[in-house]
Protein backbone atom coordinates (compact mmCIF):
# COMPACT_ATOMS: atom_id res chain seq x y z
CA UNK A 1 0.00 0.00 0.00
CA UNK A 2 2.79 2.45 0.91
CA UNK A 3 4.62 1.70 -2.33
CA UNK A 4 1.43 2.48 -4.27
CA UNK A 5 1.07 5.84 -2.55
CA UNK A 6 4.71 6.71 -3.16
CA UNK A 7 4.22 5.73 -6.78
CA UNK A 8 1.09 7.85 -7.29
CA UNK A 9 2.75 10.86 -5.64
CA UNK A 10 5.63 10.44 -8.14
CA UNK A 11 8.32 10.95 -5.53
CA UNK A 12 11.15 11.05 -8.07
CA UNK A 13 9.54 14.03 -9.83
CA UNK A 14 9.41 16.01 -6.57
CA UNK A 15 13.09 16.71 -7.19
CA UNK A 16 12.10 19.57 -9.51
CA UNK A 17 10.47 21.41 -6.60
CA UNK A 18 13.35 20.51 -4.27
CA UNK A 19 15.77 22.14 -6.73
CA UNK A 20 13.56 25.24 -7.00
CA UNK A 21 13.40 25.68 -3.21
CA UNK A 22 17.14 25.08 -2.89
CA UNK A 23 17.77 27.72 -5.53
CA UNK A 24 15.69 30.27 -3.63
CA UNK A 25 17.58 29.47 -0.42
CA UNK A 26 21.03 29.57 -2.02
CA UNK A 27 20.27 32.87 -3.75
CA UNK A 28 19.40 34.29 -0.36
CA UNK A 29 22.63 32.85 1.04
CA UNK A 30 24.60 34.39 -1.81
CA UNK A 31 23.01 37.77 -1.18
CA UNK A 32 22.90 37.87 2.62
CA UNK A 33 25.05 35.02 3.98
CA UNK A 34 22.18 33.84 6.13
CA UNK A 35 19.28 31.37 5.95
CA UNK A 36 16.34 31.00 8.35
CA UNK A 37 16.34 27.23 8.87
CA UNK A 38 12.79 27.03 10.27
CA UNK A 39 11.36 29.03 7.39
CA UNK A 40 13.38 26.90 5.00
CA UNK A 41 11.97 23.64 6.38
CA UNK A 42 8.43 25.00 6.31
CA UNK A 43 8.94 26.09 2.71
CA UNK A 44 10.02 22.57 1.74
CA UNK A 45 6.96 21.10 3.49
CA UNK A 46 4.54 23.51 1.85
CA UNK A 47 5.99 23.30 -1.65
CA UNK A 48 6.32 19.51 -1.66
CA UNK A 49 2.74 19.16 -0.36
CA UNK A 50 1.46 21.36 -3.19
CA UNK A 51 3.54 19.45 -5.75
CA UNK A 52 2.19 16.14 -4.46
CA UNK A 53 -1.32 17.56 -4.67
CA UNK A 54 -1.10 18.43 -8.35
CA UNK A 55 0.34 14.99 -9.18
CA UNK A 56 -2.39 13.17 -7.25
CA UNK A 57 -5.18 15.21 -8.80
CA UNK A 58 -3.62 14.76 -12.23
CA UNK A 59 -3.65 10.97 -11.85
CA UNK A 60 -7.26 11.09 -10.65
CA UNK A 61 -8.55 13.22 -13.53
CA UNK A 62 -6.55 11.39 -16.21
CA UNK A 63 -8.07 8.13 -14.97
CA UNK A 64 -11.60 9.54 -14.85
CA UNK A 65 -11.21 10.90 -18.39
CA UNK A 66 -9.83 7.52 -19.61
CA UNK A 67 -6.56 9.12 -20.72
CA UNK A 68 -4.30 6.88 -18.62
CA UNK A 69 -6.27 3.78 -19.64
CA UNK A 70 -5.75 4.46 -23.36
CA UNK A 71 -2.06 5.36 -23.46
CA UNK A 72 1.04 3.18 -23.21
CA UNK A 73 2.60 3.93 -19.86
CA UNK A 74 6.35 4.50 -19.64
CA UNK A 75 8.72 5.46 -16.83
CA UNK A 76 8.14 9.13 -17.61
CA UNK A 77 4.69 9.37 -19.21
CA UNK A 78 1.21 7.90 -19.21
CA UNK A 79 0.53 8.47 -15.51
CA UNK A 80 1.61 6.24 -12.65
CA UNK A 81 -0.66 3.32 -13.55
CA UNK A 82 -1.83 2.98 -9.94
CA UNK A 83 -5.50 3.61 -10.70
CA UNK A 84 -5.74 1.61 -13.96
CA UNK A 85 -4.14 -1.32 -12.10
CA UNK A 86 -6.65 -1.01 -9.26
CA UNK A 87 -3.98 -0.57 -6.59
CA UNK A 88 -5.78 2.41 -5.03
CA UNK A 89 -9.34 3.73 -5.17
CA UNK A 90 -9.89 6.87 -7.28
CA UNK A 91 -11.76 8.68 -4.52
CA UNK A 92 -8.93 7.99 -2.07
CA UNK A 93 -6.41 9.49 -4.50
CA UNK A 94 -8.64 12.54 -4.99
CA UNK A 95 -9.05 13.01 -1.23
CA UNK A 96 -5.28 12.68 -0.72
CA UNK A 97 -4.75 15.34 -3.36
CA UNK A 98 -7.08 17.70 -1.52
CA UNK A 99 -5.42 16.92 1.83
CA UNK A 100 -1.98 17.78 0.44
CA UNK A 101 -3.46 20.95 -1.07
CA UNK A 102 -4.79 21.92 2.37
CA UNK A 103 -1.42 21.18 4.01
CA UNK A 104 0.42 23.30 1.49
CA UNK A 105 -2.17 26.06 1.83
CA UNK A 106 -1.85 25.99 5.63
CA UNK A 107 1.90 26.53 5.39
CA UNK A 108 1.28 29.31 2.91
CA UNK A 109 -1.31 30.80 5.27
CA UNK A 110 1.28 30.97 8.01
CA UNK A 111 3.67 32.81 5.71
CA UNK A 112 0.89 35.22 4.70
CA UNK A 113 0.50 36.07 8.38
CA UNK A 114 4.25 36.54 8.72
CA UNK A 115 5.13 38.11 5.35
CA UNK A 116 1.98 39.69 3.94
CA UNK A 117 0.22 40.10 0.60
CA UNK A 118 3.04 38.98 -1.71
CA UNK A 119 2.81 35.44 -0.36
CA UNK A 120 -1.00 35.66 -0.55
CA UNK A 121 -0.79 36.36 -4.28
CA UNK A 122 1.64 33.48 -4.87
CA UNK A 123 -0.48 31.11 -2.78
CA UNK A 124 -3.71 32.09 -4.51
CA UNK A 125 -2.14 31.36 -7.89
CA UNK A 126 -0.87 28.00 -6.60
CA UNK A 127 -4.22 26.85 -5.17
CA UNK A 128 -6.29 27.83 -8.20
CA UNK A 129 -3.86 26.50 -10.78
CA UNK A 130 -3.22 23.22 -8.92
CA UNK A 131 -6.92 22.43 -8.62
CA UNK A 132 -7.70 23.25 -12.24
CA UNK A 133 -4.40 22.12 -13.81
CA UNK A 134 -5.55 18.69 -14.99
CA UNK A 135 -8.79 20.00 -16.47
CA UNK A 136 -9.13 23.59 -17.61
CA UNK A 137 -5.46 24.58 -17.72
CA UNK A 138 -4.24 21.63 -19.76
CA UNK A 139 -7.40 21.65 -21.88
CA UNK A 140 -6.60 25.26 -22.79
CA UNK A 141 -3.07 24.46 -23.92
CA UNK A 142 -1.50 26.24 -20.94
CA UNK A 143 0.17 23.29 -19.20
CA UNK A 144 3.74 24.19 -20.10
CA UNK A 145 3.18 27.85 -19.21
CA UNK A 146 1.72 26.87 -15.83
CA UNK A 147 4.72 24.65 -15.02
CA UNK A 148 7.17 27.41 -15.96
CA UNK A 149 5.34 29.97 -13.81
CA UNK A 150 5.07 27.47 -10.95
CA UNK A 151 8.83 26.89 -10.92
CA UNK A 152 9.52 30.62 -11.05
CA UNK A 153 7.12 31.35 -8.19
CA UNK A 154 8.66 28.65 -5.99
CA UNK A 155 12.08 30.28 -6.30
CA UNK A 156 10.70 33.79 -5.83
CA UNK A 157 8.47 32.77 -2.92
CA UNK A 158 11.28 30.90 -1.17
CA UNK A 159 13.55 33.92 -1.45
CA UNK A 160 10.83 36.35 -0.34
CA UNK A 161 10.04 34.29 2.76
CA UNK A 162 13.70 34.62 3.74
CA UNK A 163 14.19 38.32 2.95
CA UNK A 164 10.75 39.99 2.70
CA UNK A 165 12.01 41.61 -0.51
CA UNK A 166 11.62 40.95 -4.21
CA UNK A 167 14.90 41.16 -6.11
CA UNK A 168 15.85 40.40 -9.69
CA UNK A 169 18.11 37.42 -8.83
CA UNK A 170 15.32 35.00 -7.78
CA UNK A 171 13.20 36.20 -10.68
CA UNK A 172 15.88 35.23 -13.19
CA UNK A 173 16.68 32.02 -11.30
CA UNK A 174 12.98 31.17 -11.21
CA UNK A 175 12.63 31.68 -14.96
CA UNK A 176 15.51 29.28 -15.56
CA UNK A 177 14.26 26.39 -13.41
CA UNK A 178 10.68 27.02 -14.50
CA UNK A 179 11.61 26.72 -18.17
CA UNK A 180 13.65 23.58 -17.46
CA UNK A 181 10.66 21.95 -15.73
CA UNK A 182 8.40 23.00 -18.59
CA UNK A 183 10.84 21.35 -21.00
CA UNK A 184 10.46 18.03 -19.18
CA UNK A 185 6.66 18.25 -19.33
CA UNK A 186 6.83 19.12 -23.03
CA UNK A 187 9.02 16.15 -23.95
CA UNK A 188 7.13 13.71 -21.73
CA UNK A 189 3.87 14.53 -23.50
CA UNK A 190 5.03 13.06 -26.84
CA UNK A 191 4.03 9.42 -26.07
CA UNK A 192 0.63 10.56 -24.75
CA UNK A 193 -0.24 12.46 -27.94
CA UNK A 194 -3.13 10.26 -29.09
CA UNK A 195 -4.63 9.59 -25.65
CA UNK A 196 -4.38 13.24 -24.63
CA UNK A 197 -6.00 14.37 -27.87
CA UNK A 198 -8.82 11.83 -27.55
CA UNK A 199 -9.37 12.87 -23.93
CA UNK A 200 -9.77 16.55 -24.81
CA UNK A 201 -6.37 17.73 -23.72
CA UNK A 202 -4.54 20.38 -25.72
CA UNK A 203 -0.85 20.05 -24.97
CA UNK A 204 1.72 22.12 -26.83
CA UNK A 205 2.84 18.99 -28.68
CA UNK A 206 -0.73 18.41 -29.87
CA UNK A 207 -1.05 22.00 -31.06
CA UNK A 208 2.26 21.90 -32.91
CA UNK A 209 2.24 18.32 -34.10
CA UNK A 210 4.98 15.87 -33.15
CA UNK A 211 7.38 16.63 -35.99
CA UNK A 212 7.32 20.40 -35.49
CA UNK A 213 7.39 20.03 -31.71
CA UNK A 214 10.60 17.98 -31.99
CA UNK A 215 12.24 21.07 -33.50
CA UNK A 216 10.58 23.58 -31.16
CA UNK A 217 12.05 21.73 -28.17
CA UNK A 218 15.28 23.74 -28.59
CA UNK A 219 13.44 26.94 -27.63
CA UNK A 220 13.24 25.92 -23.96
CA UNK A 221 16.99 25.48 -23.28
CA UNK A 222 17.83 28.49 -25.46
CA UNK A 223 15.65 30.65 -23.21
CA UNK A 224 17.30 29.19 -20.09
CA UNK A 225 20.85 29.68 -21.39
CA UNK A 226 20.10 33.22 -22.63
CA UNK A 227 18.84 34.19 -19.17
CA UNK A 228 21.96 32.69 -17.57
CA UNK A 229 24.36 34.43 -19.94
CA UNK A 230 22.49 37.74 -19.68
CA UNK A 231 22.38 37.43 -15.89
CA UNK A 232 26.11 36.83 -15.58
CA UNK A 233 26.97 39.52 -18.15
CA UNK A 234 25.01 42.09 -16.12
CA UNK A 235 26.47 40.80 -12.82
CA UNK A 236 22.99 39.85 -11.57
CA UNK A 237 23.93 36.17 -11.43
CA UNK A 238 27.33 34.90 -10.25
CA UNK A 239 29.90 34.20 -12.95
CA UNK A 240 29.95 30.60 -11.73
CA UNK A 241 26.42 30.21 -13.15
CA UNK A 242 28.14 29.66 -16.48
CA UNK A 243 29.00 26.13 -15.29
CA UNK A 244 25.48 25.25 -16.46
CA UNK A 245 26.81 25.54 -20.02
CA UNK A 246 28.63 22.25 -19.43
CA UNK A 247 25.27 20.50 -19.93
CA UNK A 248 25.10 21.60 -23.58
CA UNK A 249 26.52 18.25 -24.86
CA UNK A 250 23.81 16.38 -22.95
CA UNK A 251 21.22 18.75 -24.40
CA UNK A 252 22.50 18.19 -27.94
CA UNK A 253 22.37 14.42 -27.49
CA UNK A 254 18.84 14.61 -26.07
CA UNK A 255 17.53 16.95 -28.75
CA UNK A 256 18.93 14.92 -31.64
CA UNK A 257 17.54 11.75 -30.10
CA UNK A 258 14.08 13.33 -29.91
CA UNK A 259 14.27 14.34 -33.57
CA UNK A 260 14.92 10.70 -34.49
CA UNK A 261 12.54 9.00 -32.07
CA UNK A 262 9.63 11.41 -31.53
CA UNK A 263 7.11 8.95 -33.01
CA UNK A 264 8.51 5.74 -31.52
CA UNK A 265 7.11 5.10 -28.02
CA UNK A 266 9.69 2.44 -27.17
CA UNK A 267 12.78 4.39 -28.29
CA UNK A 268 11.63 7.74 -26.89
CA UNK A 269 11.78 6.46 -23.29
CA UNK A 270 15.55 6.87 -23.10
CA UNK A 271 15.19 10.29 -24.73
CA UNK A 272 12.74 11.40 -22.04
CA UNK A 273 15.11 10.14 -19.37
CA UNK A 274 17.93 12.08 -20.97
CA UNK A 275 15.92 15.31 -20.90
CA UNK A 276 14.97 14.73 -17.26
CA UNK A 277 18.65 14.27 -16.40
CA UNK A 278 19.57 17.37 -18.41
CA UNK A 279 16.98 19.49 -16.62
CA UNK A 280 17.92 18.29 -13.14
CA UNK A 281 21.70 18.52 -13.65
CA UNK A 282 21.43 22.03 -15.09
CA UNK A 283 19.25 23.10 -12.17
CA UNK A 284 21.60 21.59 -9.61
CA UNK A 285 24.63 23.27 -11.21
CA UNK A 286 22.79 26.59 -11.00
CA UNK A 287 22.12 25.99 -7.30
CA UNK A 288 25.78 25.15 -6.67
CA UNK A 289 26.92 28.31 -8.44
CA UNK A 290 25.42 30.44 -5.65
CA UNK A 291 27.13 28.62 -2.79
CA UNK A 292 30.77 29.53 -3.14
CA UNK A 293 30.91 33.31 -3.50
CA UNK A 294 29.23 36.08 -1.53
CA UNK A 295 27.75 38.93 -3.51
What's the pLDDT band for 293 if we cut at 50, 70, 90? low
Contact in structure between 78 and 268 (CB atoms under 8 Å): no
166: left (phi over 0), alpha (psi -120 to 50) or beta: beta
Domain of 157, CATH number, reads 1.10.600
What's the pLDDT band for 11 if we cut at 50, 70, 90? confident
The Cα 255–Cα 258 span in angstroms is 5
191 inside domain: yes
State mean pLDDT over 111-132: 90
- The total domain count for the chain is 1
State mean pLDDT over 97-115: 95
CA–CA distances in Å: residue 76 to residues 26, 141, 276: 29, 20, 9
294 inside domain: no
The Cα 103–Cα 126 span in angstroms is 13
State mean pLDDT over 276-282: 96
What's the pLDDT band for 119 if we cut at 50, 70, 90? very high
Contact in structure between 76 and 272 (CB atoms under 8 Å): yes
Of residues 162 and 78, which shows the higher confidence score? 162
Tens of pLDDT, residue by residue over 211-247, are: 999 999 999 999 999 999 999 999 999 999 999 999 9
Contact in structure between 263 and 287 (CB atoms under 8 Å): no
Domain holding 169, by residue range, is 2-289
295 inside domain: no
173 sits in which H/E element: helix 168-188
Contact in structure between 133 and 54 (CB atoms under 8 Å): yes
Q: What percent of the chain has pLDDT over 90?
A: 65
Of residues 29 and 72, which shows the higher confidence score? 29
Average pLDDT, the chain: 91
- Rg (C-alpha) for the chain, rounded Å, is 19
| pLDDT at residue 294 tops 70 | no
The Cα 75–Cα 155 span in angstroms is 27
What's the pLDDT band for 283 if we cut at 50, 70, 90? very high
What's the pLDDT band for 273 if we cut at 50, 70, 90? very high
| pLDDT at residue 255 tops 80 | yes
The Cα 86–Cα 166 span in angstroms is 46
| pLDDT at residue 266 tops 90 | no
284 inside domain: yes
**Lowest mean pLDDT across 7-16, 30-39, 66-75, 260-269:** 66-75
Q: Which long-range contacts (CB under 8 A, 24 or more apart) does 93-97 make?
A: 93/8, 93/56, 93/59, 93/60, 94/56, 94/57, 94/60, 96/5, 96/56, 97/52, 97/53, 97/54, 97/55, 97/56, 97/57, 97/60
Residue whose C-alpha is closest to residue 55's, from 115, 118, 106, 5: 5
| pLDDT at residue 134 tops 90 | no
| pLDDT at residue 40 tops 80 | yes
Amino acid sequence: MLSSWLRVIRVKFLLASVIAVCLGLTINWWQNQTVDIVYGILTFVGVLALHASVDLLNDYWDFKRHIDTETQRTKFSGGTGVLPEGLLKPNDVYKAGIIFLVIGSAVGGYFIFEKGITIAIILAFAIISIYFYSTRIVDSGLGEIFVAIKGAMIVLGTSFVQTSHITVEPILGGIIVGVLSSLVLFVNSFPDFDADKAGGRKTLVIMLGKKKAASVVWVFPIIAYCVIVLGTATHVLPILSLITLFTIPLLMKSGLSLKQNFDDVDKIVSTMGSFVSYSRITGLLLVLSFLFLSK
